[in-house]
Structure formats: structure tokens, C-alpha cells
Amino acid sequence: MRIIRTTDYDDMSRKAANIISAQVILKPDSVLGLATGTTPLAAYKQLIRWCDRGDVDFSEVSTYNLDEYRGLTHDDPQSYHYFMRKNFFDHINIDLSRTHVPDGSNPDADAACADYDKLVHDAGYPDLQLLGIGNNGHIGFNEPDKYFSKGTHCVDLTESTIKANSRLFDREEDVPRQAYTMGVQTIMYARMILVIASGEAKAEAVRRMCFGPVDPECPASILQLHTNCVVIADEAALSQCPEA
């Protein structure tokens, strides 16, 4: 695991965008695993600017998002389908038929998860998987558990995750209580994993991810075992870690 220490959120975001753009430039038909939430927003904006300038070309790229809330239609403003189009896909030259997000509108959880697993498998798994990290150490929506998950599955979100995500909803009670998410094993199949973290609220989770025991109670800790994992985090997020 390689740790890149940055000064602040903007520095973190630019360095993450640099790595993602380099992946696409070196392999134009890259398979990218993407994440939602507030942490990657500035990195996406930087990639949009570079695409507008002609510095990076997404026309042959395929993408597979980590997760989606169960029960939301694709055009629901709180869905991750909507989030990705609003914040990234609609602003770059990507073929929307090459973009994939779990189908939260499918009430049949087993079918929705199996279908998504097949899509990711048939794509050969991501060349680069972008991850954020939750305050409780979750990656995707893989919450603390007694074991590491395998394939895409339906999860019951913890109260801490619901509370953290409520900032994006009008009311906390509006946050869905379940989601479909890639499993930890699926994430680990990516050839490169890029984790980004910012802010003091993430400090304990980042410490446990990088320096704690490998334990499903902190799902991100398994990334210590990946052969090509890069963590880009700002000073605040690394405040509980030894100097990198």
C-alpha cells in the first residue's frame, strides 16, 4: 500500500485526477470502477476540464460504479445513476452505453446483484478502481461485518452511514436503508485501487485501513493485501497515521 500525503482536498483531488487520466491515456479502452459521494467531486471536475481541453479522451472507456441505493429509479435525483450523469458522464465524451451502475430499481435483489456481477466479470474487472472510505471503514457499501463479502449483494446500511449520507437528502428519514454494492472480493479483483480521503472525520478510518489489523470490522483494511493500492489523503485524514 502506497500512501500519498497531500496538503488539502484540492491537492488530493488533482493528484487523484492525474492518476485516473494517466490510466486512460495509457490505455484508451480502460475499464474504470467509479465511486460517488462528495469526496470524488473535485477530481471529476478536473477530469472534465482536461477532457474539454482535449487532454484526455473517454470515448472508449467503460465504467462500473460501486453501488446504488435499493428502490430508487435511475432518474431519481438521489440515485447514483443520476449523480454520475450530473457530475461526470454528461460533461465528458463517454458513450453512455458503456457506463454501468447497479439497478436499484429492480426489487429482485438476487437478480439485480447477479446481473451486475456478470457485467463486471464479463468486462474483466476494473483496470483502476476508485474508492472513498466511510467513517466506519466501509468501502462501497460494504459495512463492518464478521466476514469480508464476495460478490455484489444487498446490504442494510448502518445508522452511521445513513447519518453521514443524510447531508445529501432533505431529511435523514429520506435516506434509503438498503443498497446494492460490489463485494469486497470483487473490488480486490481490480488491477489498481485508488483510495481518496479528506478531512479529520476520516482520520480514524484511514488509520485502521492503513495500519490496523486486517479485519472485516474495518472492511477497508483488506486493501493492505492488494498488490497495487494507492491511498491519496490530505493532512487531516492522515492526522492519526505515522508520517508517510
Give average pLDDT by consecutive 10-residue segment, the chain, 244 residues.
97 98 98 96 98 98 96 92 97 98 96 97 98 95 94 89 78 84 97 98 97 97 98 97 77
pLDDT at residue 158 in the model: 81
Distances (CA, A) of 103 to 23, 44, 82, 93: 27, 22, 12, 23
Please tell me the predicted confidence (pLDDT) of residue 45: 98
For position 131, what pLDDT does the model report?
98
What's the whole-model pTM score?
A: 0.93
pLDDT of residue 159: 85
Q: What does the alpha-carbon distance between residue 183 and residue 153 come to, in Å, rounded to a whole number? A: 7
Q: What is the DSSP letter of 127?
A: S
Instruction: Please state the domain extents for the chain.
Output: 9-135
**CA separation for the pair 237, 179 (Å, rounded):** 26
Instruction: Report the 10 Å Cβ neighbour count for 224.
Output: 14
In terms of phi and psi (left: phi > 0; alpha: psi -120 to 50; beta: otherwise), the region of 22 is: alpha
| pLDDT for the residue 244 | 52
Q: Tell me the per-residue pLDDT of 49-74, one tens digit each, with 9 for 90 and over.
A: 999 999 999 999 999 999 999 999 99
Catalytic positions, please?
67, 136, 138, 143
Q: Was domain 9-135 assigned CATH 3.40.50.2000?
A: no
In the chain, alpha helices (H): 9-26, 41-53, 80-87, 109-122, 159-165, 184-188, 203-211
**pLDDT at residue 162 in the model:** 83
